[in-house]
Amino acid sequence: MSDNALGLVIAAVVAWIVIGALGLVRPRELRFVSHLLFPLGAAVGLALAVVAFFALGQLPQSTVLPLGLPDLPFHLRLDSLSAFFLLLLGAVGAAISVFAAGYFRSGEGAAPGLLCFEYHLFLAAMALVLVADDAYLFMVSWEAMALSSFFLVTTDHRIPEIRQAGFLYLLIAHVGAIAILLCFGVLQGGSGDYTFGSMRSMVLTGAWPSVAFFLALFGFGAKAGLLPMHVWLPEAHPAAPSPVSALMSGVMLKTAIYGFLRVTFDLLQGQLWWWGVIALVLGLATALFGVIFACVQSDMKRLLAYSSIENIGIIVAGIGLTILFKSYGKTLLAAITLTAVLYHALNHAFFKSLLFLATGSVLHATHERSLGKLGGLIHRMPWVAWLALVGTLAIAGLPPLNGFVSEWLLLQAFLFTPSLPQSFVNMLVPLAAGALVLAVALSAYVMVKFYGIIFLGRPRESNLAYAKDAGWFERAALSFLALGCVVLGIFPVNVIAMLDPVNAMLIGSTALHADSGNWLLLTPINADRASYSPLIVLIGIVAVVLLTAQVVHRLYHGRVRRAPPWDCGFPLQTPRMQDTAEGFGQPIREVFDAVFRIERQLPSPFDTAPKYAVKVGDHLWHWLYLPLARGADALGRLVGMIQQGRISVYLTYSFFTLLALLFFVR
Amino acid sequence: MATLPLYAQFINLFAAFLLLLAFAMLAQRRVLSLINLFAMQGFALAVSTAIVAYGTHQSHLYWSAGLTLVLKVLLLPWLLHRLIRQLDVKWDVEGLINIPTTMLVGIVLVVFSFNLALPIAQLSHTVTRATLGIAMASVMLSFLMMITRRKAIPQVVGFLAMENGLFFAATSATYGMPMVVELGIALDVLVGMIILGVFFFQIREQFDSLDLKHLETLKENE
């Protein structure tokens, strides 16, 4: 099996494409598409994950497919890095497919068969991106990925906002793709050979490696949602159907991380320390920006989109730190940092997909995306609520779940930086660590808001009483992802051992210390400095909970008195008196006032039907994107001036062109 | 001059006629006279092609000459006359630029063409190479006529006259194009003429006039 892992990966890609094409055979038949094709796609995803898991430790395999243009075949290669991301794609993709089997129904805006086609094409394109071994196949599948996801985002294309969101996404995806293409153009170093094999052996001189690095940072950053190319994320994620948001946020953003890692650590020969500093600063800025904006959102999918920006920021900051360590030859530290990065990418794929899918269930049950009209759903939708709680705790970075492990590892790596030789970096890194901690803490705040407002409290609207819990397909998918969050949290040592081949390939060192044979205890450097045992934490938490329950039970047993609580002098209490999403975010909005562009509409005291509206905008949109758009428009008008509508003027143009050509050719 | 054979002198003579007629067309205000001038230019072209054929014993050029005669002296002017009668547009042609200025620009173009043709003519080995400059000049002048005219029919005449100049350039530089190409071009001109004729009716139906300034409204609005 492991001998021909690459063949199996190709088979999985073909299977996905075939399943997608089958959807087009009977596009309107919902049962056929959702109860047969999507589960089939999930099975393929699971198989891919298993294959990738076994291929992680194997030697790289490569092959050449006789497809593509004449004399320009497709090169494919499966190495540890690809295998890791394929594992992520397969596992999370399978869960999302199972969810989609129960989620998609008629009236979603497009025929189910068409959705099935675009969805599986999207999966297949992502898998191809991960195994591409030449710039040609990489770009072809990259574009296929962008286009299929664009059509998925604009599923409900009859709504103008969704069309606009789709356009913004497509625009930024293409600007990024141009940068990536240019990056490959630099990397091939004038040899004209666009295979990654030739790029690996190419030694670039002068400023060219830096140019390639920054083109990659820009290009992949646009796809990942790095500042300042993040604007498409909060627009596209709410616009897309929830499984698509989950797939885009959980998996597609990771393909951008994959591409960035591939270029930085595999295709480029060496890394310079200041690249790391810039990636670190940019990543942390993105993380803080994302989390601060997430605090003040009142649309649940928008909130999650900003949280994705935050997580991508953390991952990129980790990559920056890895570059920093590796450029100073601290391979062990670099390996720990990279482990944290990959771990966090995997974790984010699991918990963010889980949360997006949970919002999908809530959306279907209540037809409401605005946090202000939800609440108390834990009574109506216990399955979704409890499984979402696992995801919420994981993303908030609480032990013993998976979010804690990667963030803890990353912080450990930050704490080791004083060993670097440069004092400037030594001063910068504690600051960066502080920013990271702030981002992580705020993300916990965001998650309390997210969970508390949707699932806890009392229903804010009367129609929430009719909300139904998710179906079995959805429950299975959510349970799988929640289980993933728990397993990844409880067995970090095994997961890190699994990641080691990737470290060995990219850094040349493994993160696991030789003497840490203990699978219960995670010790990054040595046990004296820091160690973490999730199982003990779990046992501790369970013990404390049980003990508390016992104590409470004993102390108050039989002395329970049921009476109306003190009502603070307000005898009439309605669910609308609960803390709202805006209210919860208000302190953050005040503290970080300068970051936002707030348009607030305050009611007058004499208004009998007072209305309050607040719109939190993004300064970058007004300072960067709108001027750019205006500039492009003005340039377009300038070009439009040569269109006079008079035949004689057009003839004059061609006449002068002719004269000039004759004059110069002479 | 004595070194040139008699037929070559005749060719030069007709080339001069061609240029003169091109200027005459540039200056002509009336549509009917314009078409007559166009027919005369076609006739001069046919005669000069026949002389080239006679002088160089290129028998296929006789066919070209015959074709030119039938197409450009008889058929196209007849079509244009019919069109004018049907459309009832015997008005004076108003240029966008006044006639003297147009003539001056034309002279500049002729100088430019001769300047341009000089190095090319030296590469060529035909007897008629000296007339290449005239051929180019008549192309340019026809183009200028297309630019300066406001109405549709003179523009079409300018387009056809440009084809005359190209044809003459081909004859003088390389003793004509292969017969197939020539037939193709002749057919193109004919088809183009018919299509434009249809368009004239359409334009007039739409705007009640053949003045091209009405087409400006078709431009994409800001």
Contact B222 A637 (CB under 8 A): yes
Distances (CA, A) of A374 to A307, A347, A363, A562, B185: 20, 27, 10, 28, 75
Contact A644 B216 (CB under 8 A): yes
Any domain includes A444: no
Any domain includes A572: no
CB proximity B222 to A under 8 Å = yes
Q: How deeply is A531 buried, as exposed, middle or buried, from its count of CB atoms within 10 A (0-12, 13-18, 19+)?
A: middle
For residue B159, what are the domain limits? Answer: 6-213
Token code pair at residue A452: 């508390």
Q: Give A134's DSSP letter.
A: B
Q: What is the pLDDT of residues A131-146, one digit of tens each?
A: 999 999 999 999 999 9
Q: According to the model, what pLDDT value does residue B94 have? A: 67
User: Which candidate from B116, B144, B215 shows the least CB-CB separation from A662?
Assistant: B116
* Rounded CA separation B129/A385 (Å): 92
Q: Compute the average pLDDT of residues A446-458.
A: 90
Contact B143 A644 (CB under 8 A): no
Interface test with A, best of B110, B145, B147 (most A CBs within 10 A): B147
Contact A648 B144 (CB under 8 A): no
Contact B116 A651 (CB under 8 A): no
Nearest-Cα distance to chain B for A661, in Å, is: 11
Q: Which of B166, B159, B211 is nearest to B190 (CA)?
A: B159
Q: What is the pLDDT of residues A67-123, one digit of tens each?
A: 877 778 899 999 999 999 999 999 999 999 999 988 887 666 778 888 899 999 999
Q: Which of A321, A229, A247 is nearest to A284 (CA)?
A: A321
CB proximity B123 to A under 8 Å = no
Contact B148 A652 (CB under 8 A): no
Nearest-Cα distance to chain B for A629, in Å, is: 17
Q: Which residues in chain A have Cβ-Cβ distances shorter than 8 Å to B94?
A: none
Q: According to the model, what pLDDT value does residue B95 have? A: 67
Distances (CA, A) of A76 to A13, A130, A133: 12, 9, 5
Q: Which residues in chain B have Cβ-Cβ distances shorter than 8 Å to A662?
A: 116
Q: Which residues in chain A have Cβ-Cβ distances shorter than 8 Å to B147?
A: 648, 651-652, 655
User: Which candidate from A645, A659, A666 shows the least CB-CB separation from B219?
Assistant: A645
Q: Give A575's DSSP letter.
A: G
Q: Compute the average pLDDT of residues A406-412.
A: 88
Nearest-Cα distance to chain A for B55, in Å, is: 30
Q: Which residues in chain B have Cβ-Cβ distances shorter than 8 Å to A659?
A: 112
Res A397 pLDDT > 70: yes
**A255-259, A353-357, B202-206 — which is least confidently predicted?**
B202-206
Contact B215 A663 (CB under 8 A): no
Contact B212 A645 (CB under 8 A): no
For residue A96, what are the domain limits? Answer: 1-187
Nearest-Cα distance to chain A for B219, in Å, is: 5
Q: According to the model, what pLDDT value does residue A21 have? A: 92
CB proximity A645 to B under 8 Å = yes
CB proximity list for A627: less than 8 A, separation 6 or greater: none
Any domain includes A579: no
Token code pair at residue A478: 């959510």
For residue B217, what is the nearest residue in chain A, using CA coordinates?
A645
B contact residues 69-108, partner A, Cβ 8 Å cutoff = 96
Any domain includes B22: yes
CB proximity A664 to B under 8 Å = no
Contact A647 B222 (CB under 8 A): no
Contact A640 B220 (CB under 8 A): yes
Structure confidence at residue A511 as a pLDDT band (50, 70, 90): low
Number of domains in chain B: 1
User: Which candidate from B213, B217, B219 shows the least CB-CB separation from A643?
Assistant: B219
* Rounded CA separation A136/A121 (Å): 18
For residue A666, what is the nearest residue in chain B, using CA coordinates?
B116
Nearest-Cα distance to chain A for B210, in Å, is: 13
Q: Which residues in chain A have Cβ-Cβ distances shorter than 8 Å to B219?
A: 643-645
CB proximity list for A399: less than 8 A, separation 6 or greater: A489, A532, A534, A537, A538, A541
Any domain includes B167: yes
Any domain includes A565: no
> A164-199: b or e for each residue (b if 16 or more CB lie within 10 Å)?
ebbbbbbebbeebbebbbbbbebbbbeeeebbbebb
Q: What is the pLDDT of residues A183-219, one digit of tens each?
A: 999 998 878 888 998 888 888 888 899 999 999 999 9
Structure confidence at residue A570 as a pLDDT band (50, 70, 90): confident
> B145-160: b or e for each residue (b if 16 or more CB lie within 10 Å)?
bbbbbbbbbbbbbbbb
CB proximity B187 to A under 8 Å = no
CB proximity A655 to B under 8 Å = yes
Structure confidence at residue A515 as a pLDDT band (50, 70, 90): very low
Q: According to the model, what pLDDT value does residue A513 have? A: 54
Contact A666 B146 (CB under 8 A): no
> A269-285: b or e for each residue (b if 16 or more CB lie within 10 Å)?
eebebebbbbbbbbbbb
Query: What is the enclosing helix (H) or strand (E) of A602?
Result: none
Res A401 pLDDT > 50: yes
Examine residue A400 and say whether the peptide bond preceding it is cis (omega within 30 degrees of 0): yes
Contact B220 A643 (CB under 8 A): yes
User: Which candidate from B143, B218, B222 shows the least CB-CB separation from A655?
Assistant: B143
Contact B147 A658 (CB under 8 A): no
CB proximity B118 to A under 8 Å = no
Any domain includes B125: yes
CB proximity B155 to A under 8 Å = yes
Number of domains in chain A: 2
Q: Which of A158, A187, A216 is the last residue of a domain?
A: A187
Percent of the residues in chain A that have a pLDDT greater than 90, as a whole number: 45
Contact B212 A647 (CB under 8 A): yes
Phi and psi at residue B152, to the nearest 5°:
-70, -45
Q: What is the pLDDT of residues A599-623, one digit of tens each?
A: 888 888 888 888 877 788 888 888 8
Cα radius of gyration (chain A): 26
Examine residue A228 and say whether the peptide bond preceding it is cis (omega within 30 degrees of 0): yes
* Rounded CA separation B176/B196 (Å): 27
Contact A663 B150 (CB under 8 A): no
Any domain includes A199: no
CB proximity list for A139: less than 8 A, separation 6 or greater: A177, A180, A181, A184
Contact A344, A257 (CB under 8 A): no
Res A179 pLDDT > 90: yes
Any domain includes B77: yes
Structure confidence at residue A333 as a pLDDT band (50, 70, 90): confident
Residues of chain B with pLDDT under 70: 1-3, 90-95, 124-129, 176, 212, 215, 218-222
Q: According to the model, what pLDDT value does residue B222 have? A: 47
CB proximity A517 to B under 8 Å = no
Contact B219 A647 (CB under 8 A): no
Q: According to the model, what pLDDT value does residue A106 have? A: 65
Q: What is the pLDDT of residues A519-568, one digit of tens each?
A: 666 776 666 667 788 888 889 999 999 999 999 888 877 677 777 777 77
Res A378 pLDDT > 50: yes
CB proximity B122 to A under 8 Å = no
Q: According to the model, what pLDDT value does residue B220 have? A: 61
Nearest-Cα distance to chain B for A154, in Å, is: 29
Q: Which residues in chain A have Cβ-Cβ distances shorter than 8 Å to B216?
A: 644-646
Three-state secondary structure call for residue A378: helix
Any domain includes B218: no
Q: Give A643's DSSP letter.
A: -
Token code pair at residue A234: 């909060």
CB proximity B147 to A under 8 Å = yes
Q: Which residues in chain A have Cβ-Cβ distances shorter than 8 Å to B96?
A: 648
CB proximity list for A528: less than 8 A, separation 6 or greater: none
Contact A481, A354 (CB under 8 A): yes
Q: Which of A187, A214, A247 is the last residue of a domain?
A: A187
Q: Which of A159, A187, A215 is the last residue of a domain?
A: A187
Q: According to the model, what pLDDT value does residue B1 have? A: 44
CB proximity B146 to A under 8 Å = yes
Contact A652 B147 (CB under 8 A): yes
